[in-house]
Structure 1
Amino acid sequence: MTKLEFTANARPTVGIEIELGLLDNQTFALASECDSLIAHLETEPLGCVKPELMQSCVELNSDVSQTIADARGDLEAKLRVVQHAADQLGLRLWWGATHPFSHWKDQVVTATPRYQGLVDLLQEMARRLITFGLHVHVGVDSGDKAVMICDRIMQHLPTLLALTCSSPFWESRDTGLQSQRSKIMEGLPTAGLPPLMRNWSEYTWLVNHMVDTGFIHTIREIWWDVRPHHKFGTVEVRMCDMPGNLDDVCAMAALIQCLVQQLSNEIDEGTYQFDCHPMMVRQNKWRASRYGTNAALVNGYNYEVQPVRQIASRLVERLEEIATELRCTSELRHVLEIAAAPTWAERQRELASTLGSSAAMVDRLSSESAVEG
C-alpha cells in the first residue's frame, strides 16, 4: 500500500482558494473562456490562477500566509491582474456559488486528461458541476491531528454553510434553497460529509482502499466537505458557498483558521473525543442549505435547537482570544455582520425581483464585487 507522508506545519498558516465564474460582459451569462483569460494575463501569478473542470470557472489561490491580512493582500493583487485581463476580453467575474440562468449543458469542459477522465468516469454528475466555492487551508502539525480536527470540526460545518449561502437559482429557476451548490456537490460519489476516521493510519488505509479497488484514480478525487491535505500539511475546509465579496471571504477564512487552531489546542491539552452523530450533522447541513442564516441547528452536545445567528455570535465570542493571537480580530468580528445581514442568496432573490431580471442582478452584483485599483 502507498504510504502518505503528511507535511507538518509548525504554525496555523492559512491559504485561501476562491472559484469565480466567468461572465460575458454583455449578456452576463457564463462564458467558457478560462484558457483565453489565463493566456491573456500580463503578469501571471505562476500556479495561482488555474482552470477548473469547466472553462466558465477560474480558480485563484493565495500564497501560504501567516495571517488573514497577508492572504487578503495577496489575493487582491492577483484579482486586479485577473480583472484587468477580463476587462480586455469583455468578461467579468461572478462571486456566487451557482449562476442563475446559464445551463450546464452549454458549458465547455477543460481539455486536460484529468478533467476529460473525470467526465468519462462521472458522466452527467461531472457535467453538472457548474458551481463555485470557497476552500480554506489551515496548517497543522501532524496527520493524526489533521484527521482528528476533521472529525471535530464537522459539527461546525453547517454553520459555515449557512453563513455563506449564495446559490438559490439553478438553470433559470428558483430552487427554494439557499445553497443549491451543496446539493449538487453531494451527487458526487466522494463528496459531502467525510466518514469518521480516528487517525492518520485509518485515513491512509481508506485512500489506498479506494484507489486499489478502482473507486477513485487519485487522492485528488476526494471532495469531502473537509479533508486532510497531506502535501500541504493542512486541514482543508471545502463546505462554503462562494461569498459575494472579498470582505466576506476573509471573514470566513478567519473563522475557519480560528476554529482549527482552537481544536488543535484542545487536542494538545487533552480532551475527550466527543462523537457528534453523523445524522445530526447531515440534518443540520440540510437545514443550512434550505434556510441559510434563518436556520435553527441542533446542538450536538445538548440537543437544543439554536438559531444560526446565535451560534455564530457565540463562536465569535469564544474564538476572540485565538483571533488576537492569529491577528485576525477584525476579520473574525465581520462574521457578526454576515450573520446579521441577509445571505447572498437572499440578496440575489431580492435584487432579481427588484431589478426585474436575473441578468440585471448579475450585472449589479458582479460590478459591486470587483476589487478596486
Structure 2
Amino acid sequence: MNALSFTSNDYPTLGVEIELQLVESSTLALSNSIEEVLKSLPEEYHQFVKPELMQSYLEINTGVCRTVAEAGNDLRRTLEATEKAIEKLGLKLFWSATHPFSSWREQEITVNDRYYLLVDLMQDIARRLVTFGLHIHVGVDTGDKAIMVGERMLRYLPLLLSLSSNSPFWEGRNTGIHSNRSIIMEGLPTAGLPHLVRNWSEYTWLINHLINTGFINTIREICWDVRPHNNFGTVEIRVCD
C-alpha cells in the first residue's frame, strides 16, 4: 500500500476557492475563453486564478489566511483584477452554481491530461459537470484530525447547502430544485457524502483501493461534499453552491 502523507498546519488556516462562469457581455452565454482570460491577467494573479474542467469557467483561490476578513480582502483583490482584465475581452464573471440557459453540450474540455482521463473514464457524467461551487479549506495538524472533523461536519452539510443554494435553472428551464448543481454532482460516483472511515490509515487504504481497481485515476477525483485534502493539510467543505 502506498503511503499518503498529510501536510500539517500548526494553526487553523482558512482558504477559499470559488468557481465563476465566463460569459459574453452581450449575450450572457457561457464562453469557452479560459486561455484568453489567463493570458490577459497580470502575472501576479496567475497563482490565484486557475483553469477548471471546462474552458467556460475559472477558479479563484485565496492564499493561506488566518481570518474571514483576510480571506474576503484576498478574494476581493483577485476578483477586481480579473474583472478588469476580462472586460477588455468582452467577458464578465457570472455568479451562480449553474448557468440558466447555456447547454453543457456546447462546453469544451480544458486542455489538460487529467481532465481528458476523467472524461474518458466517466464520459457524459463528466461532460455534464458544468457546475460551479464554493469550497472552503480549514487547516488541521493531522490526518486523523481531518477525518474526525470531516465526520463531525456531516450534520451541518444540509444547512450549508440550503443557505448557499442558487442554481434552480438548467438549460433554459426552472428545474424546481433550489440546488440543481448538487443533483448533477450526484451523478458522479465519487461525489456526494463521503465514505465513513475511522482514521487516516483507513482513508489511505480506501484511496489506494480505488486507484488500484481503476475506479479513480488520482486522489483529486474524490469530490465528496467534505473531504480531507492531504497536500494542503485541510478539511475541505465542498457542498456549497
Provide the TM-score with structure 2 as the length reference.
Answer: 0.98
The structure in which a higher percent of residues are helix is 1
- Deviation digits for residues 210-246 of structure 1 (CA, Å, limit 9, x no counterpart): 01111111100100000001111100000000xxxxx
- Aligned residue runs from structure 1 range 178-327, under 5 A: 178-241=178-241
- Deviation digits for residues 132-175 of structure 1 (CA, Å, limit 9, x no counterpart): 00000000111111001111110100000000001000000110
Unaligned runs of 5+ in 1: 242-373
Match of 1:116 in 2: 116
Match of 2:134 in 1: 134
Match of 1:80 in 2: 80
The structure in which a higher percent of residues are strand is 2
CA distance in 2, matches of 1:92, 1:44: 20
Q: Quick check: 2:38–2:46 contact (8 Å CA) kept in 1?
A: no
Give the letter aligned to residue 26 of structure 2. Answer: Q
Q: Quick check: 2:101–2:171 contact (8 Å CA) kept in 1?
A: yes
CA distance in 2, matches of 1:72, 1:166: 20
Match of 1:344 in 2: none
Q: Quick check: 1:148–1:197 contact (8 Å CA) kept in 2?
A: no
* SS of 2:240 mapped into structure 1: coil
Q: Quick check: 2:136–2:237 contact (8 Å CA) kept in 1?
A: yes
- Aligned residue runs from structure 1 range 10-89, under 5 A: 10-89=10-89
Provide the TM-score with structure 1 as the length reference.
Answer: 0.64
Identity of aligned residues (%): 58
- Per the TM alignment, residue 75 of structure 1 is displaced from its structure 2 partner at its CA by 1.1
* SS of 2:60 mapped into structure 1: strand
* SS of 1:239 mapped into structure 2: strand
Match of 2:144 in 1: 144
Root-mean-square deviation (Å)? 0.8
- Per the TM alignment, residue 42 of structure 1 is displaced from its structure 2 partner at its CA by 2.5
- Per the TM alignment, residue 47 of structure 1 is displaced from its structure 2 partner at its CA by 2.1
- Deviation digits for residues 53-100 of structure 1 (CA, Å, limit 9, x no counterpart): 001111000000011111111111111111011100000001100000
CA distance in 2, matches of 1:214, 1:43: 38
Give the letter aligned to residue 220 of structure 1. Answer: R
CA distance in 2, matches of 1:44, 1:158: 37
Unaligned runs of 5+ in 2: none
- Deviation digits for residues 8-63 of structure 1 (CA, Å, limit 9, x no counterpart): 11111100000000010000111110111011113442321111000111100000
Structure showing greater radius of gyration is 1
- Deviation digits for residues 259-311 of structure 1 (CA, Å, limit 9, x no counterpart): xxxxxxxxxxxxxxxxxxxxxxxxxxxxxxxxxxxxxxxxxxxxxxxxxxxxx
Give the letter aligned to residue 100 of structure 2. Answer: P
CA distance in 1, matches of 2:127, 2:229: 25
Matched positions, count? 241
Q: Quick check: 2:17–2:135 contact (8 Å CA) kept in 1?
A: yes
Q: Which has the higher contact order (CA 8 A, sep 6+)?
A: 2
* SS of 1:117 mapped into structure 2: helix
CA distance in 1, matches of 2:115, 2:6: 26
Q: Quick check: 2:228–2:236 contact (8 Å CA) kept in 1?
A: yes
Q: Quick check: 2:118–2:217 contact (8 Å CA) kept in 1?
A: no
